[in-house]
Structure 1
Amino acid sequence: MHDKDDSNRPERRSSLIALELSRLDIDIAAALSEVRFSGEGSLQKHGAGYTLFWSGRPATEGNHSGVGFMIKTFIASTLESLRTGHSDRIMSLHLPLKNKEYATILSVYAPTLQAKSEEKDIFYSELRHVLRRTPPADKMLILGDFNARVSQDADAWRGVFGRHGVGNCNDNGRLLLEICMELQLAITNTISQQKDKLKTTWMHPRSRHWHLIDYILVHQRDLRDVLHTRVMPSA
């Protein structure tokens, strides 16, 4: 027997995402959150030509979170030994580039604003640990849902973000800004001037206001490699 509506099942949701990525011709989707598969593994979406890699909680703890990457299968076939699941909130991919260079890409999913302080401390401690172990010569990208608002105060956080932020800062935003300042990371979403609908990603269910809570971070030395960061409203 099948449920009348199985659209929220992890297998079904991942198939829908793969089809959308195919439509948009995305090579690597590097910030999937709430994947909701247990443990660590991979799953090919043959019809769309993508492979999903995920890192979640052990099966005994439920599957309410999880992070992952979805990569075109012809690319993924060369990368399977280069991905690492650090937890159900952090997963990394070591991607070979040209001229013997590498990029380390992290998919992250931070605790919500309502989460306990201990849970947030564990997440950011683990993120610091992973970033500090990244080879210094690697280009670094951290992508994901940080559940944080970082405001528009570029002068107070010089080098961390540009003059095109959105809204006001909250407690989670300060945690994010502190690690960015500490590790010399830049928030690329705030660099380019563009309409808010090309920056915001989440609408508050009560106020109906749109907020920027999903970010792409790079090391400040690699900002020259970032051409543009924007939301794709059609997706």
Structure 2
Amino acid sequence: MHDKYDSNRPERRSALIVLELSRLDIDIAALSEVRFSGEDSLQEHGAGYTLFWSGKPATEGNHSGVGFMIKTSIASTLESLPTGHSDRIMSLCLPLKNKEYATILSVYAPTLQAKSEEKDRFYSELRHVLRRTPPADKMIILGDFNARVGQDADSWRDVLGRHGVGNCNDNGRLLLEICMKLQLAITNTIFQQKGKLKTTWIHPRSRHCHLIDYILVRQRDLRDVLHTRVMPSAECHTDHRLVRCRIRIRPKPITRKGGPPRKSTTIAGYNQTR
């Protein structure tokens, strides 16, 4: 634990983020562009969250990085700490009821302008991590994919829903292809809702709204997804909007002060850098 990060100064980005996560009652949030070096954690004591992150070594700068912000009550049930696979992929294994598990990934894909070698390296690593995940686990992948997947639900049956946004680009095809091979569904495109509840990023020059931040699940588990939508009211001081998903998974029981146990878990993903 880094003491130098472990404080409640309200101007710190992580302190501002947990205020919004607490207000929206988010259980687990995946973060992109964390920009902390190495792999470590910190506690936000006042709001009851713990941040875990995976970034580049301190000698290489800190322009990327991924992480999780988890309610400390849930983090205390983890059987192992979240694993940093690189500065672009981090995973955690969440114990569920009845000795089941959910594997949750926080990812940050290269931009459209990145070299093809960098994109190939990211998707190769992502495939490697996914294929090593036990087949029985529920799988949830959250993050900034820097990709537009479009609306062609007929060509990408079971991957895309009928409520996508805009046109597909090259990064979008890379994402759609891995989803098709690994039988993943893009939950953002499943639910009919207003455009402002689907788009996650505004292009700084054209001012067009795009959907580039996604929450993916195994196709077989799509029935457990209750809703996925953007939260326009969430102010996390980033040019990306927070994406919230309510999913029917029951974490390993924890002691609760009154009230029935949760029947679903609320997760979210966003890029935290402005």
Task: Report the TM-score when normalising by structure 1.
Answer: 0.93
More helix by share: 1
Task: Report the Cα offset of residue 37 of structure 1.
Answer: 0.6
State the alpha-carbon separation in 2 of the partners of residues 7 and 122 from structure 1. Answer: 36
* Residue ranges of structure 1 left out of the alignment (5+ in a row): none
Describe how 1:10-25 pairs up with structure 2 within 5 A. Answer: 12-25=12-25
Q: Cα distance, 1:206 vs. partner?
A: 1.1
Query: What percent identity do the matched residue pairs reach?
Result: 91
Quote how far apart the aligned CAs of 1:82 are: 3.8
Deviation sequence 1:173-196 (CA, Å, 0-9, x none): 000000001101100100111111
> Which has the higher mean CA deviation after the structures are superposed, 126-135 or 42-51?
42-51
CA contact (8 A) 1:111 1:146 kept: yes
> Which shifted more, 6-15 or 73-82?
6-15
- 2:2·2:42 contact (CA, 8 Å) conserved in 1? no
After TM superposition, the score normalised by the length of structure 2 is 0.80
What stretches of structure 2 of length at least 5 have no aligned partner? 234-274
Alignment: residue pair count: 233
Whole-angstrom distance in 2 between the partners of 1:124 and 1:17: 28
Instruction: Work out the CA distance in 2 between the residues paired with 1:47 and 1:3.
Output: 15
Shift of 1:99: 1.0
CA distance in 1, matches of 2:124, 2:230: 29
Aligned residues of 2:51 and 2:67 also touching (Cα < 8 A): yes
After superposition, the Cα gap between the structure-2 partners of 1:26 and 1:118, relative to the gap in structure 1 and judged at 3 Å, is same
Q: Give the number of the structure with larger relative contact order, counting CA–CA contacts within 8 Å between residues 6 or more apart.
A: 2
Cα contact 1:10–1:36 (8 A) shared by 2:
no
Residue 80 of structure 1: how far off its partner (Å):
6.5
Offset at residue 96 of structure 1 (A): 0.7
Is residue 67–residue 109 contact of structure 1 (8 Å, CA) maintained in 2? Answer: yes
Q: Structure 1 residues 82 and 7 mapped into 2: Cα distance closer, same or farther (>3 Å)?
A: closer
Tell whether the 8 Å contact from 2:52 to 2:67 is kept in structure 1 after alignment: yes
Describe the shift of the 1:98–1:113 C-alpha distance in structure 2 as closer, same or farther (beyond 3 A).
same
Classify 1:5/1:100 alpha carbon distance in 2 versus 1 (closer, same or farther; 3 Å): closer
CA distance in 2 between partners of 1:191 and 1:67 (Å): 26
Q: Deviations over 1:17-75 (max 9, x none)?
A: 011111112111x3201101111010001111111000000111111110000011122
Shift of 1:78: 2.5
Deviations 1:121-180 (A, max 9, x none): 000000000000000100000010000000100011111111100000000000000000
Point out 4+ residue stretches in structure 1 off by more than 3 angstroms: 1-11
Local SS of the residue matching 2:123: helix
Q: CA RMSD in A?
A: 3.6
**Residue 67 to residue 8, structure 1, CA distance change in 2 (3 Å):** farther
| Structure 1 position 172 matched with structure 2 position 171 | yes
Q: 2:8 touches 2:44 (CA, 8 Å); kept in 1?
A: no
Aligned equivalents of 1:220, 1:211: Cα separation in 2: 24
Q: Judge which range, 171-180 or 2-11, deviates more.
A: 2-11
